[in-house]
Amino acid sequence: MNVEARPNPLKTQSVELGIADCDVHPNPASLEDEVFPFIEQKWRDYIATYGMVQRIGFAGGTQYPKGQPRASRRDSYPPEGGPPASSLSFFREQHLDAHNVDMAVMIPLRIGQALQNMDLAVAVCAAINEWQTEFWTSKEPRIKGSIVMAYENADACVQQIEKHAHKDDFVQISMLSRTPDPMGHRKYWPIYEAAAANGLPVGVHAFGYGGNPPTGGGYPSYYIEDMMAHAQSCQALITSMVYEGVFDRIPDLKLVIVEGGIAWLPSLMWRLDKIWEKNRLELSHVKRPPSEIIRQHVWLTSQPIEEPDNRQQLVEAIEWMGWDRVLYASDYPHWDFDDPKRALPVQLTKEQRDGFFRGNAYKAYGLS
């Protein structure tokens, strides 16, 4: 396939203030050149010898092959070469400038926060944090980083949080949704305590290889099932955090769910309220109705946004959860990218628009 011509970025409608994009995915042009310098030689040798093993059978790639290469927009490869979103200049041109983004939260993926070799995971995550500041946030103030951590090792996470949380470069702590144990499990609580103490939300991005089948009925067959199931995993993780009392225990904790969709939240809140009312004996540590806890502590990023034929229905669903809960995200450069001009093609009030595209994010991340 020979793609000769590259389209000019479409001009954006003028927006007075730039938008906040709560999920973008810069990549290293090469691990060797950009990330390995921050890793001890012994771990470089280890990776060269054994690879980076996760709870999945393949040495690279996934057991559910994606719909397009690297799950990326086919037009996102930088002209100078390298993987999508590995060139800052092209990232600016195709995304930040083209869409008037003045705050973009980068969430590094494919780095193995849950590598089986925990010492390796700690070393790689530490390096990725250095890489974010060195190659991205220090060069482009519109880009903010996420502190990535080997989240099966809470002590190491707390160290990373203490090391980076005070820097302007980072706006959140990053975890992946498919953890080995549900996120309300108390082994993760020290992470949440450190995040809350430092005023940073925990951003939970869909994906990860926790070693559990993506459904309670085992492994599905097709890629579309794996993708769909992220919405369900996110519902399960919110259920876990609420019912296991995380927010009662850590009242300053903020949770941002990234890339799981949004429209399922009202139904989940209603269900959790009903079950909670009937099981007060078991859930005596949960002091308030789950919907109230969620409305105070949980935000969802919008992408991949649900698209009913009648978009007004999505607006109604957002009303049920509250407009202040939703943060715009593009997921650039991935294939299910949502263009800010087209993501929500309905009439919004100025307040809704400002909140969705900017204000809610600044609040969630504690920025001004």
Partner 1 sequence: MDTLLDPETRGANRIIPGAVDCDVHPASPAMKELMPYLDDYLSQSVVDRGIEQLTSVHYPPNAPITCREDWRGPGDAASALKRMQTHLLDGMGVGTAILNQMLGIQILFNADMGAAFARGLNDFMAREWLDKDDRLRASMVLPQQSPELCVDEIERLAGDKRFVQVMMLVMGDRPLGHQMYWPIYRAAEKHGLPIAIHAGSMYRHPLTGVGWSSYHSQDYAANAVNFQTTVTSLIAEGVFTKFPNLKVVMSESGWTWLPAYLWRMDKYWHGLRMLTPWVDRLPREIIADNFRFTLQPVDAPPDRAVLEKLMEHVGTEDLLLFSTDYPHWQFDGTECVPDGFSDSQLRKMMIDTPKATYSRL
Partner 2 sequence: MAERQKHVVAKVSDFEGTDRKLVEVKGRPIVIFKKGDEWFGMLDRCPHQGGSLCSGSLISWVESSGPGDYRMSRKDEIVRCPWHGWEFDIRTGVACARPTKYRARPVGVSVVKSEETETVGNLELYDVSREGDLVVVEL
Q: Which residues bind partner 1 (CB under 8 A)?
A: 67, 177-185, 210, 212-225, 227-229, 231-233, 235-237, 239-240, 243-244, 261, 263-264, 266-268, 270-276, 278-279, 281-283, 304, 306-308, 313-314, 316-317, 320, 335-336
CB of 252 to partner 2, least distance (A): 37
Given candidates 91, 337, 356, 357, which one binds partner 2 under the rule CB under 8 A? 337
CB of 84 to partner 2, least distance (A): 11
- Burial label, 220 (beta-carbon count in 10 A; 0-12, 13-18, 19+): middle
Identify which of residues 69 and 199 has a Cβ nearer to partner 2 in the complex: 69
Q: What is the three-state SS of 133-178?
A: HHHHHCCCCCEEEEEECCCCCHHHHHHHHHHHCCCCCEEEEEEECC
Task: Say which residue the tokens 């259920």 belong to.
Answer: 239
Identify which of residues 96 and 204 has a Cβ nearer to partner 1 in the complex: 204
81 near partner 2, judged by CB under 8 A: no
Identify what 26 binds: partner 1, partner 2, none; CB under 5 to 8 Å per kind: none
Identify what 50 binds: partner 2, partner 1, none; CB under 5 to 8 Å per kind: none
Identify what 338 binds: partner 2, partner 1, none; CB under 5 to 8 Å per kind: partner 2
Given candidates 34, 193, 259, 338, which one binds partner 2 under the rule CB under 8 A? 338
The count of other CB atoms within 10 Å of the CB of residue 225 is: 13
Identify which of residues 170 and 332 has a Cβ nearer to partner 2 in the complex: 332
Task: Say which residue the tokens 């992946």 belong to.
Answer: 176
Residues 24-63 within binding reach of partner 2 (CB under 8 A)? none
93 near partner 2, judged by CB under 8 A: no
Identify which of residues 77 and 365 has a Cβ nearer to partner 2 in the complex: 77
Binding segment toward partner 2, per CB under 8 A, in 72-80, 242-250, 295-303, 317-325: 72-80
Q: Could you tell me the CA-to-CA distances from 14 to 18, 44, 93, 105, 211 in Å, in that order? A: 9, 47, 16, 22, 46
CB of 2 to partner 2, least distance (A): 4
6 near partner 2, judged by CB under 8 A: yes
Given candidates 219, 339, 346, 366, which one binds partner 2 under the rule CB under 8 A? 339
73 near partner 2, judged by CB under 8 A: yes
Amino acid at 211: G
247 near partner 2, judged by CB under 8 A: no
Given candidates 41, 216, 218, 342, which one binds partner 2 under the rule CB under 8 A? 342
Sign of CA dihedral 285, 287, 291, 295: negative
CB of 154 to partner 1, least distance (A): 16
CB of 64 to partner 2, least distance (A): 15
Binding segment toward partner 2, per CB under 8 A, in 69-77, 118-126, 182-190, 289-297: 69-77
Give the total of residues touching partner 2 (CB under 8 A): 23
Residue 190 CA to residue 73 CA, distance in Å, equals: 37
Residues interacting with partner 2, by CB under 8 A?
A: 1-8, 10, 67-68, 73-75, 309, 335-339, 341-343
